Structure 1
Amino acid sequence: MSRPFPPPAFKIGDLVVDPPVLQAPMAGFTNAAFRQMVREYGGAGLIATEMVNARGFQWMDEHTTEHPDRLWGVAEEARPLAVQIWDNDPETMAKVGRRLVEEYQVSVVDINFGCPVRQVTEKAHSGSYLLRTPERMFQIISKLVKACAPTPVTAKIRLGCSPESINCNDIAQVVEEAGAAALTVHGRTAKDMFRGHADWDRISEIKSHLKNIPLIGNGDLDSAEKVVHAFKTYDVDGVMIARACLGRPWLFAQAAAALQGQPVPPDPSLAEQRDCMLHHYTLVKDRFGEEKGTVLMRKFACCYAQGKYGARMFRTHVAKVSTAEEFYHVVDEYFPLTVKEKPVSAQ
């Protein structure tokens, strides 16, 4: 299938998403520091927070404790900004959605119906677990839409709970009928977790089951070339980049350039990538303090090193740091500054 190219901007409610490339909400990663890194490089049409537990947020609010760290920076940072929430109770979701609109003035409230993690699914009967109960999804979405109006509400789903129970086409219709302003689909089932490959043909098929709302595809987009291919090949209005951007916040700018037929900016040099990581560390440390910030930065540092020669040695050492002095020492000694090389065959 040949699609219009370059792809036009699209709208979520009254919000124009331009370029039509979104940053995925990712638990434990897309905090305010990471979002600032993405903004500094540019190229993302819509940025999202980590997913927020609606019930936990409500409890904190009722007990006048500090709001969740996952809402760090939301009130002050630039717009547009989407906040993703999860739970299985329509009333709780509606209350929290309204607070996000009134107090935080967010651009979009997104509902997580896609998380496959057992703590969210089997223990809390939320996330992708709800794909087996479309009627509950309808109740959650419709109540949230009413509570958040005129701020748009969106939903993120997977293809189904398992390869044997793919129901994304039916779920898409439920999402639209309940009043959601856009649908994002990750091209795997919950049972797949992140194994195998995202099924973009399945994602594309969903478009014919929607009447008016935009469809956003998600899964395996790790280069500007793959973003271009997705728009040229599949029937989607937007794409969402997830894990591939964690150590590469410049990926959105590369994708945006490619979509406009412009030269794709090269990756920063390895020294520049190291400096980017150190800037990221400063943002995290300033918010959480040296000890907590350093521990939190371990996983981000591993993302920046991924795919580089010497990454394993760096990961081994950075996983143990707990002070700024230790972090800077490990970076100076072990952060990879050469590209990953293929092993030379024995003569």
Structure 2
Amino acid sequence: MTATAVKPLWIGDLKVDPPILQAPMAGFTNSAFRQIVRGFGGAGLLATEMVNAKGFVWLDEQEACHPDRLWGVADEPRPLAVQIWDNDPETLAKVGARLAHEYRVSVVDINFGCPVRQVTEKAHSGSYLLRTPDRMGAIIERVVEACHPTPVTAKTRLGCSRDRINIIEVAQVVEDAGAAALTVHGRTAADMFRGSADWDLIAQIKPHLKRIPLIGNGDLDSAEKVVQAFERYGVDGVMIARASLNKPWLFAQAAAALRGDPVPPDPTLAEERELMLHHFDLVIERFGEPKAVVLMRKYACCYAQGRPGAREFRKQVARIETAAAFQQVVADTFPRDRAPAAPALTPAS
């Protein structure tokens, strides 16, 4: 794979190099997952799970602990972004200010793209706000003011549905309101995660942005696709989401491809098995055994995705209730290599 001329991404005064971002994903991108990604390298900017701003304020008023999704953030290496969601400018500004000035995060991102019913129809947040770009602008303006000088970004989708695509208008509103960058997922809210991301539509946004970078997101599941995103669609950065859940080393592979270096092969299944057990240890350390076992069921299924024997492994791992049971299921049923492989990518110790 040949190198493509990709410059570092600037989000305000923050340099993101390489311009490859790890997407915030509810239920997945906790501190343990981020530690795994950071160990492999290649991600220029990592992100937490998205944080419910209203819930944060409630916890603060009750003098309770900060939201669980912010565990480890205060002491974690930078750069690091935290994504927040709600529909009230003042609530989002209050939380954004705390993140910027107390937690000292690198970026405060506002979610305008989540299509999940609990966020959209029940809370009138996330991608629901694509119906009212003016409201989005008011939110961004208030959060930018509260977070200064920490950059504020927005993540959105193409529109509410295929017959209501308004991303050009939204992009101009986001820029005019003072956001430092825009990330666009190439599907509509109605699409959820079905079908394919429309990168042609993402590319059409770029000429309408005068000063802020455009970050593309959707279906980036290989180093080749990351290179193509820059070469074909003219984005300033990319955000990798679901594909990283079963390939947390994808960021390092993509970064190598952008440099023109040989792309490291995937770890062997034996190495993946050891990585998964290490991941489990990190989750136990943070959450304790009972909760860690429940959380690790979904991570384990991600690791096995697309591998021979994955169905039986998923079936067995869904039943585990103890750490010992998890380790036994991994030993007995996690897919195995069919033949010796070349040395592969492993995370830094």
Aligned to 1:244: 243
The whole-number CA distance in structure 2 between the counterparts of 1:178 and 1:9 is 24
CA contact (8 A) 1:205 1:235 kept: no
Structure 2 partner of 1:344: none
1:214 aligns with 2:213: yes
| 1:317 counterpart residue number | 316
One-letter amino acid of the structure 2 residue matched with residue 149 of structure 1: H
2:343 corresponds in structure 1 to none
Q: CA deviation at 1:100?
A: 0.6
Tell me, in whole angstroms, the C-alpha distance in 1 between the residues paired with 2:252 and 2:9: 18
TM-score by length of 2: 0.95
Look up the match of 2:345: none
Deviation digits for residues 257-280 of structure 1, max 9, x if unmatched? Answer: 000100000101111111111111
Indicate the residue corresponding to 2:184 in structure 1: 185
1:197 counterpart = 2:196? yes
Contact 1:21 1:240 survives alignment (8 Å): yes
Q: CA offset at residue 247 of structure 1? A: 1.6
User: Which stretch shows the higher mean deviation, 106-115 or 329-338?
Assistant: 329-338
Q: Percent identity?
A: 72
**Aligned-residue offset at 1:46:** 0.5
- CA drift of 1:339 comes to 6.4
Counterpart CA distance in 1 for 2:338 and 2:177 is 49
1:272 corresponds in structure 2 to 271
- After TM superposition, give the deviation of residue 338 of structure 1 in Å: 3.3
SS at match of 1:76: coil
Q: What does 1:1-347 correspond to in 2, within 5 Å?
A: 5-338=4-337
Q: Deviations over 1:235-294 (max 9, x none)?
A: 200000000000211100000000010000010111111111111100000111111111
CA contact (8 A) 1:138 1:178 kept: yes
CA distance in 1, matches of 2:66, 2:322: 26
Aligned AA for 2:322?
A: T
Deviations 1:122-153 (A, max 9, x none): 00000000000111101110000000000000
User: How many pairs are equivalent?
Assistant: 337
Q: Shift of the alpha carbon at 1:314? A: 0.4
* Structure 1 CA distance for aligned equivalents of residues 101 and 316 of structure 2: 44
- Contact 2:25 2:50 (C-alpha < 8 Å) held by counterparts: yes
The code of the aligned residue for 1:133 comes to T
Shift of 1:68: 1.4
Contact 1:308 1:338 in 2 (8 A): no
SS of the residue 1:50 aligns to? coil
Distance in 2 (CA, whole Å) between partners of 1:6 and 1:336 is 38
Distance 1:268 1:5 in 2: 25
Distance in 1 (CA, whole Å) between partners of 2:273 and 2:73 is: 27
CA contact (8 A) 1:145 1:152 kept: yes
Aligned 8 A contact 2:114 2:126 in 1: yes
**For residues 268 and 39 of structure 2, what CA distance do their matches in structure 1 show?**
17
Stretches of structure 1 that go unaligned for 5 or more consecutive residues are 341-347
Shift of 1:6: 2.2
